[in-house]
Chain A
Amino acid sequence: MVHPIVKLVTQRLALGLLLLFAASILIFAGTTILPGDVAQQILGQSATPESLANLREELGLNDPPLTRYFNWLGGVLQGDLGTALTNGRDIADSLAARLKNTMFLAFWAAVIAVPLAILLGLLAVRFKDRWPDKLISGVTLATISIPEFMIGYVLIYWVAIRMGVFSSVAIVNDSMSLGAKLNAIAIPVMVLTLVVLAHMMRMTRAAILNVMQSAYIETAELKGLRALTVIRKHAFPNAIAPIVNVVMLNLAYLVVGVVVVEVVFAYPGMGQYLVDHVSKRDVPVVQACGLIFAAVYIGLNLVADIVSILANPRLRHPK
């Protein structure tokens, strides 16, 4: 008999794939019903009826939508995302570079933000309702409430201009050393950390506090364990599922939702790339970006689900 965990995980994976497929339909349908004819958008004011007809033919816009959808999907499955209509570049190549940058920024923001948020959450529980708890909550809630571009500008002004450390422009490229790259992204990483901190911290705090009501925590306390040990050894492992969920949501945000930060710091990530192509109606690029964003979102949520399943002892050790 198959272990129930394997079954559950397989189910999740299959569901994820199905969801991604559904997302691809939505993306395709969404970009197809965008106002404005693609050929007209590309040719602009100098369009003549013949050149429009030629371009429509070339782009296969005369085929029925279903045919176009399967042609596109077929290409995507073979790793062929097509070429950008606006500058004729290979989408997979341009996108790979941008995706790498986005992941680089998200990775470093996560490396700092996630442990910090969890640590702060644990501390908040340890000193519940005393000044460290109030300070942590107050500061993190304040930073999540301020729009991220504002935090960005404030940090640029104080850190880059007044103090003269770190760079206000976060442009990274392959010829830079890792140190130079980290120096470039230092301020955006700070901004992103401040933006995602509160959500994860509050969730950690709430989840652990919930567990702290349990009888076994009282037992642990009565055994004479130190408060932090109780939290670390007994409360935290049982609060992992909700924490992982909120961490994954924030990681997904770091990948797909940071266009504002990218603009403020001129960071060459996916968000800016997508926005530029949306305004030029460069549909193949928009579709490719949409698909990657969907895949990241679904993938991270899948990880969260699987971790919650694995973290649940009742599922790990069935009777």
Chain B
Amino acid sequence: MNKELQHLSERVSKGLMTRREFVGRAAALGVTAAVANTMLAGAAKAAGPVAGGDFKMGVQGGESTNSQDPATWSSDVPIAGGRHWGEPLVEVGPDGNLSGLVAESFEGSSDAKTWRFKVRQGIEFSNGKTVTAEDVMRTMERHTNEDSKSGALGIVQGIESMRTDGDVFELTLGVGNADMPYLMADYHLMIQPDGGFDNPGAAIGTGAYTLEADEPGVRQLYKRRDNYWGGDQSTTGHYDSSEIIVLNDATARTAALQSGQVDAINRVEPKIAKLLDRAPTLSVRNVSGRGHYVFIMHIDTAPFDNNELRLALKYAINRQEMVDKILQGYGGIGNDMPINAAYPLFDSSIPQREFDLAKAAEHYKKSGHDGSPIILRTADGAFPGAVDAAALFQQSAQAAGIPLEIKREPNDGYWSEVWNAQPFCASYWGGRPVQDQMYTTAYLSTADWNDTRFKRPEFDDMLMTARAELDNSKRKALYSKMGAMLRDEGGLILPMFNDFIDAVSNKVQGYEGDPNGPQMNWYAFKKTWKA
């Protein structure tokens, strides 16, 4: 690193200079913003974390119906809160690599069917009980249970048998899965004493913080605990307390950050992100993730059972325009497959589908469609900007002679009455840590959430082969074929991948984007500190 930059970055970490000034000076020295940000994070780390202080996060995605039972979590507030008190066996890092939490290490058999997780020795739950392999097994049992309502059911379904062997938890799968440890990082699978059978919502786990106050839909307050296995406050979990304040209204959220009532917020609206970034006391931080906005067709329902029509629609969507106008540039264009460069083993050689009205018209003509209106259902809640995106799509489709008609649905009931029920609608996916999980969740013939009704035995076979394949180059080739197949034959129109857009007060140090989720995959409370 250049000496001057080094000096400047140290000034930032001492609070003598703002991040924006630094990025500006760095640009003058010929360094890109991305590199400058990385340097800054390094400098902040070098200056060393500071223990103490209180962290407050304004979060969108909490309801008064939330509970602390990990099995029920699906929105951001409970997920973010759960990271405070609970830990799964492993976590996925920003680089996509796994590291152990409750599990100290793990290993798989050569057929990827049997996985052994060695439980970290001598670590304690916040109620003082020592964690055993038995607790881990009971936790998995609770989520795989017959009458389990757990959101992780789909993930742990493949487990055929489980047993403990001293401090080792061992599970055996029906079909080998090289990505099994990734699945164990799921936020539902917080290890609880005795699996949380007696009191699933007790909020007792191995996390660095303990729950002090919980008002569903309002706030959650956590205090740092003393006997956290990961070390004391100067090592990790630097804040004395961390509070999540539920701010579902976008304006309320940004106002709270601007007036200094919270230190960080998630889901900055793309519309205002650039404006907000001009405020002197905070910075907007975006990271490209795996989440994507989609228009999905049921390929078993007319007229979408005709691949020519599907291709016509895929060519008729202007992806770049969507990224520019719906995401305001905070995102990347999609290629009609749910995988992008944020996934390991992504094949970047698959050609990008371009916006091509002539081809769209040609495919539409070949499809022999009778010209009756094709109904696209959308709602404000389908994804931010979904109604506008549908209107853009309608216009470009019209230019290709495709009669697209928009039907606007109410937000209330959209996910039960429209999504996965109507043949053509707008929707979104949050993405998964690995390709296998994404495909298994939504594109396997038997998947509950196969929202495009994509049922191809050859695709399923490839998925299963890739899953048990430990040779990465072979896996990559298989995933590449599967991606191309979805792109050309699937019912998925994927115009854009959306960034996570957070905003963080300049008082907060050590923030680094994580493609796994907003607010450093919700680990910001643990990994950042205030200078």
Contacts and interface: CB of A to CB of B under 8 A. Distances in A.
B256 interface: yes
Interface residues of A, number: 43
A86 B66 CA distance: 7
Interface in A143-170: 153, 156-157, 160-161, 164, 167-169
B247 A266 contact: yes
A87 B218 contact: no
Given A89-B216, A173-B213, A167 B63 contact: no
How big is chain B's contact interface, by range?
A: 35 or more
A280 B65 contact: yes
A168 B67 contact: no
B76 to A, nearest CB: 15
Interface string B304-342: 000000000000000000000000000000000000000
Contacts of B412: 278-279
A45 interface: yes
A35 B247 CA distance: 29
Contacts of B218: 171, 173, 266, 268
B64 A273 contact: yes
Interface string A33-77: 001100011011110000100100000000000000000000000
Given A87-B66, A160-B259, A266-B248, A36 B153 contact: no
Contacts of B215: 97, 173, 268
Contacts of A307: none
B262 A84 contact: no
Given A161-B258, A169-B262, A266 B249 contact: yes
A88 B149 CA distance: 14
A28 interface: no
Contacts of B299: none
Contacts, number: 107
Interface in A262-319: 263-266, 268, 272-273, 276-280, 282
A84 B72 CA distance: 14
A89 to B, nearest CB: 7
Interface in B394-434: 412-413, 416, 420
Contacts of A43: 149
A282 B65 contact: yes
Contacts of B213: 173, 175
Contacts of A10: none
A219 interface: no
Nearest to B153: A46
- Interface of A, secondary structure class, is helix
Interface string B225-256: 00000000000000000000111110110011
A86 B65 contact: yes
A210 interface: no
A94 interface: yes
Interface string B495-508: 00000000000000
Interface string B58-91: 1000011111000010000000000000000000
A168 B255 contact: yes
Contacts of A280: 63, 65
B188 interface: no
B13 to A, nearest CB: 26
A164 B255 CA distance: 11
Given A171-B245, A277-B64, A268 B217 contact: yes
A167 B258 CA distance: 11
Interface in A238-256: none
B449 interface: yes
List of 9 A-B pairs having minimum Cβ-Cβ separation, nearest first: A86-B65, A87-B67, A268-B218, A168-B255, A276-B63, A276-B64, A160-B259, A156-B255, A169-B256
Interface of B: 58, 63-67, 72, 147, 149-151, 153, 201, 213, 215-219, 245-249, 251-252, 255-256, 258-259, 261-262, 412-413, 416, 420, 448-449
Interface of A: 35-36, 40-41, 43-46, 51, 54, 84, 86-89, 94, 97-98, 153, 156-157, 160-161, 164, 167-169, 171, 173, 175, 263-266, 268, 272-273, 276-280, 282
